[in-house]
Structure 1
Amino acid sequence: MSDNIYDPEFVAGVFDRCSGAYRNWSAAASFGLIRSWRRACVNGLNLPRKSTASGVDLMAGTGEAWPHLFARFPNIAEVTAIDISPGMHRQAIDRLHKDREDRITHHCANMLTTDLPSDSAEFAISTFGLKTFDAQQHLAFAHQLNRILKPGAPFSLIEATDPVGWSLRPLYRFYLDGVLPQIERLFLNGAQDFTMIGAYTRNFGTGSTVMEALKAVGLTVEVQYFVGGSAVRFSGFKPG
Protein backbone atom coordinates (compact mmCIF):
# COMPACT_ATOMS: atom_id res chain seq x y z
CA MET A 1 0.00 0.00 0.00
CA SER A 2 1.21 3.53 -0.80
CA ASP A 3 2.78 5.70 1.91
CA ASN A 4 1.03 8.70 0.37
CA ILE A 5 -1.78 9.51 2.82
CA TYR A 6 -3.86 10.96 -0.05
CA ASP A 7 -3.58 7.91 -2.27
CA PRO A 8 -7.11 6.48 -2.73
CA GLU A 9 -5.96 2.98 -1.79
CA PHE A 10 -4.39 4.27 1.43
CA VAL A 11 -7.53 6.26 2.35
CA ALA A 12 -9.82 3.29 1.63
CA GLY A 13 -7.66 1.08 3.85
CA VAL A 14 -7.71 3.53 6.75
CA PHE A 15 -11.50 3.82 6.72
CA ASP A 16 -12.11 0.12 6.17
CA ARG A 17 -10.14 -0.58 9.34
CA CYS A 18 -11.89 2.26 11.20
CA SER A 19 -15.40 1.44 10.05
CA GLY A 20 -16.51 -0.81 12.91
CA ALA A 21 -15.68 1.72 15.63
CA TYR A 22 -16.09 4.91 13.60
CA ARG A 23 -19.45 6.07 14.92
CA ASN A 24 -18.67 5.83 18.63
CA TRP A 25 -15.01 6.83 18.37
CA SER A 26 -15.68 9.98 16.36
CA ALA A 27 -18.40 11.08 18.79
CA ALA A 28 -16.24 10.46 21.86
CA ALA A 29 -13.07 11.95 20.40
CA SER A 30 -14.89 15.17 19.47
CA PHE A 31 -16.72 15.37 22.83
CA GLY A 32 -19.97 15.15 20.88
CA LEU A 33 -19.27 18.23 18.76
CA ILE A 34 -19.20 16.21 15.58
CA ARG A 35 -22.97 15.64 15.85
CA SER A 36 -23.68 19.37 15.99
CA TRP A 37 -21.29 19.95 13.08
CA ARG A 38 -23.12 17.38 10.97
CA ARG A 39 -26.37 19.13 11.81
CA ALA A 40 -24.77 22.45 10.85
CA CYS A 41 -23.82 20.94 7.51
CA VAL A 42 -27.43 19.96 6.81
CA ASN A 43 -28.65 23.35 8.04
CA GLY A 44 -26.45 24.98 5.42
CA LEU A 45 -28.37 23.25 2.63
CA ASN A 46 -30.71 25.78 1.04
CA LEU A 47 -33.73 23.60 0.27
CA PRO A 48 -37.43 24.05 1.09
CA ARG A 49 -38.42 21.99 4.13
CA LYS A 50 -40.91 19.95 2.07
CA SER A 51 -38.45 19.34 -0.76
CA THR A 52 -38.69 15.99 -2.56
CA ALA A 53 -35.24 16.39 -4.09
CA SER A 54 -32.79 13.58 -4.83
CA GLY A 55 -29.15 14.24 -4.06
CA VAL A 56 -25.74 12.91 -3.09
CA ASP A 57 -23.74 12.45 0.09
CA LEU A 58 -20.09 12.63 -0.90
CA MET A 59 -17.58 10.64 1.16
CA ALA A 60 -20.65 9.49 3.06
CA GLY A 61 -18.94 7.26 5.61
CA THR A 62 -21.45 5.44 7.80
CA GLY A 63 -24.22 7.88 6.96
CA GLU A 64 -24.05 9.87 10.18
CA ALA A 65 -25.52 12.92 8.45
CA TRP A 66 -28.67 11.17 7.25
CA PRO A 67 -30.70 11.36 10.48
CA HIS A 68 -30.18 15.14 10.42
CA LEU A 69 -30.95 15.30 6.70
CA PHE A 70 -34.22 13.36 6.97
CA ALA A 71 -35.26 15.23 10.11
CA ARG A 72 -34.88 18.60 8.40
CA PHE A 73 -36.17 17.48 4.99
CA PRO A 74 -38.49 14.50 5.68
CA ASN A 75 -39.69 14.22 2.07
CA ILE A 76 -36.27 13.80 0.47
CA ALA A 77 -36.76 11.25 -2.30
CA GLU A 78 -33.33 9.63 -2.52
CA VAL A 79 -29.74 9.97 -1.33
CA THR A 80 -26.91 8.41 -3.29
CA ALA A 81 -24.12 7.65 -0.83
CA ILE A 82 -20.65 7.75 -2.36
CA ASP A 83 -17.71 6.42 -0.38
CA ILE A 84 -14.46 4.70 -1.32
CA SER A 85 -14.58 2.32 1.68
CA PRO A 86 -16.70 -0.85 1.44
CA GLY A 87 -16.51 -1.16 5.23
CA MET A 88 -18.12 2.21 5.74
CA HIS A 89 -20.98 1.28 3.41
CA ARG A 90 -21.55 -1.97 5.32
CA GLN A 91 -21.67 -0.13 8.64
CA ALA A 92 -24.11 2.42 7.24
CA ILE A 93 -26.52 -0.37 6.34
CA ASP A 94 -26.00 -2.70 9.30
CA ARG A 95 -25.96 -0.24 12.19
CA LEU A 96 -27.91 2.86 11.38
CA HIS A 97 -30.16 2.98 8.42
CA LYS A 98 -32.08 -0.20 7.66
CA ASP A 99 -35.35 1.75 7.85
CA ARG A 100 -34.11 4.11 5.13
CA GLU A 101 -32.75 1.58 2.66
CA ASP A 102 -35.51 2.30 0.16
CA ARG A 103 -34.31 5.91 -0.08
CA ILE A 104 -30.54 5.35 -0.01
CA THR A 105 -28.44 4.03 -2.89
CA HIS A 106 -24.88 2.97 -2.09
CA HIS A 107 -22.14 3.69 -4.62
CA CYS A 108 -18.71 2.40 -3.59
CA ALA A 109 -16.37 4.58 -5.62
CA ASN A 110 -13.67 7.22 -5.55
CA MET A 111 -15.49 10.56 -5.57
CA LEU A 112 -12.77 12.06 -7.74
CA THR A 113 -13.39 9.61 -10.58
CA THR A 114 -17.03 8.59 -10.12
CA ASP A 115 -19.14 8.31 -13.25
CA LEU A 116 -22.38 9.60 -11.72
CA PRO A 117 -24.43 11.38 -14.40
CA SER A 118 -23.80 15.05 -15.03
CA ASP A 119 -26.47 17.56 -13.91
CA SER A 120 -28.23 14.83 -11.93
CA ALA A 121 -28.09 15.81 -8.24
CA GLU A 122 -30.57 18.28 -6.76
CA PHE A 123 -28.37 18.77 -3.68
CA ALA A 124 -25.04 17.60 -2.28
CA ILE A 125 -23.67 17.26 1.23
CA SER A 126 -20.32 16.09 2.58
CA THR A 127 -19.19 15.65 6.17
CA PHE A 128 -15.55 15.23 7.13
CA GLY A 129 -14.16 13.77 3.91
CA LEU A 130 -12.46 16.81 2.39
CA LYS A 131 -9.38 16.59 4.61
CA THR A 132 -8.45 13.27 2.97
CA PHE A 133 -7.73 15.16 -0.28
CA ASP A 134 -4.72 17.34 -1.06
CA ALA A 135 -4.95 20.69 -2.87
CA GLN A 136 -4.86 19.16 -6.36
CA GLN A 137 -7.57 16.68 -5.38
CA HIS A 138 -9.69 19.52 -3.97
CA LEU A 139 -9.78 21.00 -7.45
CA ALA A 140 -10.75 17.62 -8.92
CA PHE A 141 -13.45 17.33 -6.25
CA ALA A 142 -14.81 20.78 -7.12
CA HIS A 143 -14.98 19.88 -10.81
CA GLN A 144 -16.86 16.69 -9.97
CA LEU A 145 -19.26 18.50 -7.63
CA ASN A 146 -19.95 21.12 -10.28
CA ARG A 147 -20.48 18.42 -12.91
CA ILE A 148 -22.85 16.32 -10.80
CA LEU A 149 -25.08 19.14 -9.50
CA LYS A 150 -28.04 20.36 -11.49
CA PRO A 151 -28.03 24.09 -12.29
CA GLY A 152 -29.38 25.93 -9.26
CA ALA A 153 -28.80 22.99 -6.89
CA PRO A 154 -27.38 23.74 -3.41
CA PHE A 155 -24.50 22.08 -1.60
CA SER A 156 -23.14 22.09 1.95
CA LEU A 157 -19.77 20.65 2.99
CA ILE A 158 -18.20 20.56 6.47
CA GLU A 159 -14.72 19.64 7.62
CA ALA A 160 -12.46 19.74 10.68
CA THR A 161 -9.64 22.25 10.37
CA ASP A 162 -6.38 23.38 11.92
CA PRO A 163 -7.61 26.57 13.64
CA VAL A 164 -4.63 28.85 13.04
CA GLY A 165 -4.91 31.95 15.23
CA TRP A 166 -7.24 30.38 17.82
CA SER A 167 -5.97 30.90 21.36
CA LEU A 168 -6.74 27.27 22.21
CA ARG A 169 -4.97 25.88 19.13
CA PRO A 170 -1.93 24.57 21.12
CA LEU A 171 -4.24 22.54 23.36
CA TYR A 172 -6.27 21.39 20.34
CA ARG A 173 -3.10 20.25 18.53
CA PHE A 174 -1.80 18.50 21.64
CA TYR A 175 -5.07 16.62 21.91
CA LEU A 176 -5.08 15.53 18.23
CA ASP A 177 -1.37 14.82 17.92
CA GLY A 178 -0.55 13.54 21.40
CA VAL A 179 -3.57 12.38 23.38
CA LEU A 180 -5.65 10.65 20.68
CA PRO A 181 -2.78 8.44 19.44
CA GLN A 182 -2.17 7.18 22.99
CA ILE A 183 -5.86 6.45 23.54
CA GLU A 184 -6.04 4.57 20.26
CA ARG A 185 -2.96 2.49 21.10
CA LEU A 186 -4.39 1.57 24.49
CA PHE A 187 -8.01 0.86 23.60
CA LEU A 188 -7.99 -0.12 19.91
CA ASN A 189 -5.27 -2.77 19.90
CA GLY A 190 -2.48 -0.42 18.94
CA ALA A 191 -4.24 0.88 15.82
CA GLN A 192 -3.08 4.14 14.31
CA ASP A 193 -5.92 4.87 11.91
CA PHE A 194 -8.22 7.30 13.73
CA THR A 195 -5.23 9.39 14.70
CA MET A 196 -4.59 10.12 11.03
CA ILE A 197 -6.97 12.99 11.72
CA GLY A 198 -4.00 14.81 13.24
CA ALA A 199 -1.99 14.73 10.02
CA TYR A 200 -5.02 15.33 7.81
CA THR A 201 -6.26 18.39 9.74
CA ARG A 202 -2.79 19.90 9.98
CA ASN A 203 -2.33 19.63 6.22
CA PHE A 204 -5.90 20.79 5.51
CA GLY A 205 -5.28 24.01 7.45
CA THR A 206 -8.17 26.45 7.34
CA GLY A 207 -9.61 24.95 4.16
CA SER A 208 -8.44 27.71 1.84
CA THR A 209 -7.69 25.28 -1.00
CA VAL A 210 -11.30 24.06 -0.94
CA MET A 211 -12.63 27.61 -1.13
CA GLU A 212 -10.29 28.43 -4.02
CA ALA A 213 -11.28 25.25 -5.87
CA LEU A 214 -15.03 25.80 -5.49
CA LYS A 215 -14.73 29.35 -6.77
CA ALA A 216 -12.42 28.29 -9.61
CA VAL A 217 -15.08 26.01 -11.12
CA GLY A 218 -17.77 28.70 -10.87
CA LEU A 219 -19.72 27.59 -7.79
CA THR A 220 -21.20 30.23 -5.50
CA VAL A 221 -19.92 29.64 -1.97
CA GLU A 222 -20.09 31.07 1.54
CA VAL A 223 -17.84 30.06 4.44
CA GLN A 224 -18.66 29.75 8.13
CA TYR A 225 -16.30 28.63 10.91
CA PHE A 226 -17.31 26.94 14.17
CA VAL A 227 -15.74 26.63 17.65
CA GLY A 228 -12.76 28.89 17.20
CA GLY A 229 -12.27 27.80 13.62
CA SER A 230 -11.89 24.09 14.40
CA ALA A 231 -14.51 23.24 11.76
CA VAL A 232 -15.52 24.99 8.56
CA ARG A 233 -18.65 24.84 6.40
CA PHE A 234 -18.73 25.64 2.70
CA SER A 235 -22.28 26.18 1.48
CA GLY A 236 -23.62 27.52 -1.78
CA PHE A 237 -25.08 26.46 -5.09
CA LYS A 238 -24.35 25.84 -8.75
CA PRO A 239 -25.48 28.89 -10.73
CA GLY A 240 -28.54 28.24 -12.85
Structure 2
Amino acid sequence: MKEIYEPKFVEKLFDNMSRSYSKMNYLTSFGFSERWRRQCVEEIQIEKGKTVVDLMTGMGECWKHILKSSDKNSTLIGLDFSSEMVNRAQKNKLRYRASKIQVLKENVFENSIPKETADYIISGFGLKTFNDEQLDKLALEIKRILKVNGKFSLIDVSVPKNKLLKPFYMFYLKRIVPILGKLFLGSPETYKMLGVYTEEFQNSKNVFRIFSKPEFEIQYVEYFYGCATGIKGIRIK
Protein backbone atom coordinates (compact mmCIF):
# COMPACT_ATOMS: atom_id res chain seq x y z
CA MET A 1 0.00 0.00 0.00
CA LYS A 2 3.01 2.27 0.33
CA GLU A 3 2.90 3.31 -3.33
CA ILE A 4 -0.55 4.92 -3.00
CA TYR A 5 1.04 7.71 -0.94
CA GLU A 6 3.78 8.44 -3.47
CA PRO A 7 3.30 11.99 -4.80
CA LYS A 8 3.52 10.89 -8.45
CA PHE A 9 0.82 8.27 -7.89
CA VAL A 10 -1.50 10.78 -6.19
CA GLU A 11 -0.82 13.46 -8.81
CA LYS A 12 -1.65 11.09 -11.68
CA LEU A 13 -4.77 9.87 -9.88
CA PHE A 14 -6.18 13.37 -9.47
CA ASP A 15 -5.15 14.36 -12.99
CA ASN A 16 -7.24 11.42 -14.23
CA MET A 17 -10.18 12.27 -11.97
CA SER A 18 -10.18 16.03 -12.59
CA ARG A 19 -12.86 16.01 -15.30
CA SER A 20 -15.47 14.38 -13.08
CA TYR A 21 -14.06 14.85 -9.57
CA SER A 22 -16.52 17.53 -8.52
CA LYS A 23 -19.51 15.33 -9.40
CA MET A 24 -17.95 12.25 -7.86
CA ASN A 25 -17.00 14.06 -4.68
CA TYR A 26 -20.62 15.13 -4.35
CA LEU A 27 -21.86 11.58 -4.95
CA THR A 28 -19.36 9.87 -2.62
CA SER A 29 -20.40 12.19 0.20
CA PHE A 30 -24.13 11.71 -0.47
CA GLY A 31 -24.31 15.36 -1.44
CA PHE A 32 -22.79 16.56 1.83
CA SER A 33 -19.38 17.62 0.45
CA GLU A 34 -20.45 21.20 -0.20
CA ARG A 35 -21.94 21.52 3.28
CA TRP A 36 -18.80 20.06 4.87
CA ARG A 37 -16.54 22.46 2.98
CA ARG A 38 -18.65 25.37 4.21
CA GLN A 39 -18.56 24.08 7.78
CA CYS A 40 -14.79 23.52 7.59
CA VAL A 41 -14.29 27.16 6.55
CA GLU A 42 -16.76 28.48 9.12
CA GLU A 43 -14.87 26.71 11.92
CA ILE A 44 -12.17 29.40 11.90
CA GLN A 45 -14.29 32.54 11.30
CA ILE A 46 -12.23 34.21 8.58
CA GLU A 47 -12.03 37.99 8.85
CA LYS A 48 -11.76 40.52 6.04
CA GLY A 49 -8.40 41.90 4.91
CA LYS A 50 -6.53 38.68 5.70
CA THR A 51 -4.49 36.11 3.77
CA VAL A 52 -5.96 32.62 3.40
CA VAL A 53 -3.98 29.66 2.04
CA ASP A 54 -6.03 26.78 0.63
CA LEU A 55 -3.78 23.71 0.59
CA MET A 56 -4.60 20.87 -1.84
CA THR A 57 -7.04 23.36 -3.34
CA GLY A 58 -8.15 21.08 -6.19
CA MET A 59 -10.39 23.11 -8.48
CA GLY A 60 -10.98 25.71 -5.79
CA GLU A 61 -14.11 24.10 -4.38
CA CYS A 62 -13.66 25.85 -1.01
CA TRP A 63 -13.16 29.30 -2.51
CA LYS A 64 -16.76 30.50 -2.54
CA HIS A 65 -16.98 29.87 1.19
CA ILE A 66 -13.61 31.47 1.90
CA LEU A 67 -14.35 34.53 -0.23
CA LYS A 68 -17.60 35.32 1.59
CA SER A 69 -15.39 37.03 4.16
CA SER A 70 -13.06 38.82 1.72
CA ASP A 71 -12.58 42.40 0.61
CA LYS A 72 -10.11 44.29 -1.61
CA ASN A 73 -7.39 43.81 1.01
CA SER A 74 -7.88 40.06 1.26
CA THR A 75 -5.67 37.50 -0.49
CA LEU A 76 -6.40 33.87 -1.31
CA ILE A 77 -3.57 31.51 -2.26
CA GLY A 78 -4.60 28.13 -3.66
CA LEU A 79 -1.99 25.40 -3.94
CA ASP A 80 -2.14 22.00 -5.66
CA PHE A 81 0.32 19.76 -7.51
CA SER A 82 -2.13 18.22 -9.99
CA SER A 83 -1.75 19.95 -13.36
CA GLU A 84 -5.32 19.23 -14.39
CA MET A 85 -6.76 20.39 -11.05
CA VAL A 86 -4.72 23.60 -11.26
CA ASN A 87 -5.92 24.22 -14.83
CA ARG A 88 -9.50 23.96 -13.62
CA ALA A 89 -8.73 26.19 -10.63
CA GLN A 90 -7.38 28.84 -13.00
CA LYS A 91 -10.67 28.73 -14.92
CA ASN A 92 -12.63 28.86 -11.66
CA LYS A 93 -10.62 31.95 -10.70
CA LEU A 94 -12.33 33.86 -13.52
CA ARG A 95 -15.59 33.66 -11.55
CA TYR A 96 -14.05 35.80 -8.82
CA ARG A 97 -12.52 38.67 -10.79
CA ALA A 98 -13.01 41.11 -7.90
CA SER A 99 -10.95 38.92 -5.57
CA LYS A 100 -7.19 38.66 -5.26
CA ILE A 101 -6.43 34.99 -5.95
CA GLN A 102 -3.07 33.36 -6.63
CA VAL A 103 -2.92 29.74 -7.83
CA LEU A 104 0.30 27.77 -7.36
CA LYS A 105 1.09 24.45 -9.03
CA GLU A 106 3.37 23.14 -6.30
CA ASN A 107 3.80 20.25 -3.92
CA VAL A 108 2.71 21.26 -0.41
CA PHE A 109 6.07 20.03 0.94
CA GLU A 110 8.10 22.05 -1.58
CA ASN A 111 6.16 25.26 -1.95
CA SER A 112 7.23 28.86 -2.47
CA ILE A 113 4.93 30.46 0.10
CA PRO A 114 7.08 32.56 2.47
CA LYS A 115 7.02 31.72 6.16
CA GLU A 116 4.33 33.31 8.32
CA THR A 117 2.29 34.40 5.28
CA ALA A 118 -1.12 33.04 6.22
CA ASP A 119 -3.65 34.31 8.72
CA TYR A 120 -5.72 31.21 7.94
CA ILE A 121 -5.12 27.82 6.33
CA ILE A 122 -7.85 25.59 4.89
CA SER A 123 -7.68 22.11 3.39
CA GLY A 124 -10.69 20.19 2.12
CA PHE A 125 -10.44 16.46 1.44
CA GLY A 126 -6.67 16.12 1.02
CA LEU A 127 -5.66 14.46 4.29
CA LYS A 128 -6.44 10.86 3.31
CA THR A 129 -3.73 10.83 0.64
CA PHE A 130 -0.96 11.27 3.23
CA ASN A 131 0.76 8.65 5.37
CA ASP A 132 1.94 9.39 8.92
CA GLU A 133 5.34 10.70 7.85
CA GLN A 134 3.73 13.04 5.33
CA LEU A 135 1.16 14.23 7.88
CA ASP A 136 4.00 15.15 10.21
CA LYS A 137 5.61 17.13 7.39
CA LEU A 138 2.25 18.77 6.72
CA ALA A 139 2.02 19.87 10.36
CA LEU A 140 5.50 21.40 10.13
CA GLU A 141 4.63 23.13 6.86
CA ILE A 142 1.42 24.58 8.29
CA LYS A 143 3.41 25.86 11.24
CA ARG A 144 5.91 27.47 8.83
CA ILE A 145 3.31 29.15 6.63
CA LEU A 146 0.95 30.25 9.40
CA LYS A 147 1.42 33.41 11.45
CA VAL A 148 1.46 33.19 15.23
CA ASN A 149 -2.20 33.25 16.34
CA GLY A 150 -3.18 32.16 12.83
CA LYS A 151 -5.91 29.53 12.52
CA PHE A 152 -6.31 26.39 10.42
CA SER A 153 -9.11 23.97 9.59
CA LEU A 154 -8.68 20.61 7.82
CA ILE A 155 -11.35 18.08 6.84
CA ASP A 156 -11.73 14.77 5.03
CA VAL A 157 -14.30 12.05 4.42
CA SER A 158 -14.13 9.34 7.08
CA VAL A 159 -15.46 5.94 8.10
CA PRO A 160 -18.39 6.43 10.50
CA LYS A 161 -18.42 4.39 13.72
CA ASN A 162 -22.18 3.87 13.71
CA LYS A 163 -22.77 0.10 13.33
CA LEU A 164 -25.68 0.60 10.95
CA LEU A 165 -24.14 3.38 8.90
CA LYS A 166 -20.58 2.02 8.57
CA PRO A 167 -21.22 -1.15 6.48
CA PHE A 168 -23.63 0.69 4.18
CA TYR A 169 -21.19 3.59 3.74
CA MET A 170 -18.20 1.33 2.98
CA PHE A 171 -20.24 -0.81 0.56
CA TYR A 172 -21.21 2.38 -1.23
CA LEU A 173 -17.60 3.63 -1.41
CA LYS A 174 -16.04 0.32 -2.41
CA ARG A 175 -18.75 -1.10 -4.69
CA ILE A 176 -21.06 1.62 -5.97
CA VAL A 177 -18.56 4.45 -6.44
CA PRO A 178 -16.35 2.41 -8.84
CA ILE A 179 -19.45 1.71 -10.95
CA LEU A 180 -20.18 5.44 -11.04
CA GLY A 181 -16.52 5.99 -11.92
CA LYS A 182 -16.91 3.67 -14.88
CA LEU A 183 -19.96 5.60 -16.05
CA PHE A 184 -18.16 8.95 -15.81
CA LEU A 185 -14.64 7.93 -16.80
CA GLY A 186 -14.80 4.40 -18.12
CA SER A 187 -12.36 3.58 -15.32
CA PRO A 188 -13.75 1.97 -12.17
CA GLU A 189 -10.24 1.41 -10.78
CA THR A 190 -9.57 5.15 -10.56
CA TYR A 191 -12.51 5.84 -8.28
CA LYS A 192 -12.03 2.62 -6.38
CA MET A 193 -9.04 4.39 -4.86
CA LEU A 194 -11.30 6.83 -3.01
CA GLY A 195 -12.66 3.90 -1.01
CA VAL A 196 -9.14 2.51 -0.49
CA TYR A 197 -7.86 5.84 0.83
CA THR A 198 -10.89 6.34 3.07
CA GLU A 199 -10.65 2.85 4.55
CA GLU A 200 -6.94 3.32 5.27
CA PHE A 201 -7.54 6.82 6.67
CA GLN A 202 -10.52 5.85 8.89
CA ASN A 203 -10.85 9.31 10.50
CA SER A 204 -8.88 12.35 11.61
CA LYS A 205 -7.92 11.02 15.05
CA ASN A 206 -4.49 10.10 13.74
CA VAL A 207 -4.19 13.59 12.25
CA PHE A 208 -5.12 15.01 15.66
CA ARG A 209 -2.40 12.89 17.30
CA ILE A 210 0.26 13.99 14.81
CA PHE A 211 -0.72 17.67 15.03
CA SER A 212 -0.68 17.60 18.84
CA LYS A 213 2.49 19.68 19.04
CA PRO A 214 3.49 22.45 21.47
CA GLU A 215 3.09 25.02 18.69
CA PHE A 216 -0.61 24.28 18.21
CA GLU A 217 -3.84 24.29 20.16
CA ILE A 218 -6.15 21.92 18.30
CA GLN A 219 -9.60 20.37 18.46
CA TYR A 220 -11.04 17.26 16.83
CA VAL A 221 -14.19 17.87 14.79
CA GLU A 222 -16.87 15.42 13.55
CA TYR A 223 -19.44 16.07 10.84
CA PHE A 224 -22.63 14.06 10.25
CA TYR A 225 -22.06 11.10 12.58
CA GLY A 226 -18.39 10.87 11.63
CA CYS A 227 -18.85 10.56 7.85
CA ALA A 228 -16.40 13.45 7.74
CA THR A 229 -13.90 14.45 10.40
CA GLY A 230 -11.19 17.01 10.79
CA ILE A 231 -9.17 19.19 13.08
CA LYS A 232 -9.12 22.91 13.68
CA GLY A 233 -6.53 24.85 15.57
CA ILE A 234 -4.40 27.88 16.19
CA ARG A 235 -0.64 28.36 16.08
CA ILE A 236 0.29 29.64 19.53
CA LYS A 237 4.06 29.99 19.06
TM-score, scaled relative to structure 1 = 0.91
Q: Select 2:96's aligned residue among 96, 100, 103.
A: 100
Matched position secondary structure for 1:216: coil
CA root-mean-square deviation: 1.8
Cα shift at 1:24: 2.0
Q: Which protein is richer in strand relative to its size? A: 2
Paired position in structure 2 for 1:202 = 199
Asked if 1:10 corresponds to 2:6, the answer is no
Tell whether the 8 Å contact from 2:82 to 2:105 is kept in structure 1 after alignment: yes
Residue pairs, 1:141-156, within 5 angstroms: 141-156=138-153
Asked if 1:192 corresponds to 2:208, the answer is no
Matched position secondary structure for 1:195: helix
Paired position in structure 2 for 1:216 = 213
TM-score, scaled relative to structure 2 = 0.92
Tell whether the 8 Å contact from 1:143 to 1:217 is kept in structure 2 after alignment: no
Tell whether the 8 Å contact from 1:3 to 1:10 is kept in structure 2 after alignment: no
Asked if 1:52 corresponds to 2:49, the answer is yes
Paired position in structure 1 for 2:42 = 43
Cα shift at 1:191: 4.3
Tell whether the 8 Å contact from 2:26 to 2:34 is kept in structure 1 after alignment: yes
Q: Select 1:131's aligned residue among 116, 124, 128.
A: 128
Residue pairs, 1:104-119, within 5 angstroms: 104-119=101-116
Cα shift at 1:161: 1.0
Letter in 2 for 1:16: D
Question: 5+ residue gaps in structure 1?
Answer: none
Structure 2 vs 1, CA of residues 187 and 86 (structure 1 numbering), >3 Å: closer, same or farther?
A: closer
Tell whether the 8 Å contact from 1:156 to 1:236 is kept in structure 2 after alignment: yes
Deviation per CA, 1:93-119, whole angstroms, max 9, x where unpaired?
22x330325511111111123242111
Question: 5+ residue gaps in structure 2?
Answer: none
Asked if 1:163 corresponds to 2:164, the answer is no
Paired position in structure 1 for 2:31 = 32
Tell whether the 8 Å contact from 2:18 to 2:84 is kept in structure 1 after alignment: yes
Partners in 2 of 1:165 and 1:216 — Cα distance? 30
Letter in 1 for 2:122: I
Q: Select 1:174's aligned residue among 159, 171, 175.
A: 171
Cα shift at 1:138: 0.7
Deviation per CA, 1:8-55, whole angstroms, max 9, x where unpaired?
00000001111111122222332320000000011111333xx21012
Cα shift at 1:153: 0.5
Letter in 2 for 1:91: R
Tell whether the 8 Å contact from 1:63 to 1:92 is kept in structure 2 after alignment: yes
Deviation per CA, 1:138-182, whole angstroms, max 9, x where unpaired?
111001001110001111111111223443100000000111112
Partners in 1 of 2:4 and 2:111 — Cα distance? 20
Structure 2 vs 1, CA of residues 127 and 200 (structure 1 numbering), >3 Å: closer, same or farther?
A: same
Tell whether the 8 Å contact from 2:151 to 2:234 is kept in structure 1 after alignment: yes
Partners in 1 of 2:159 and 2:109 — Cα distance? 24
Letter in 2 for 1:18: M
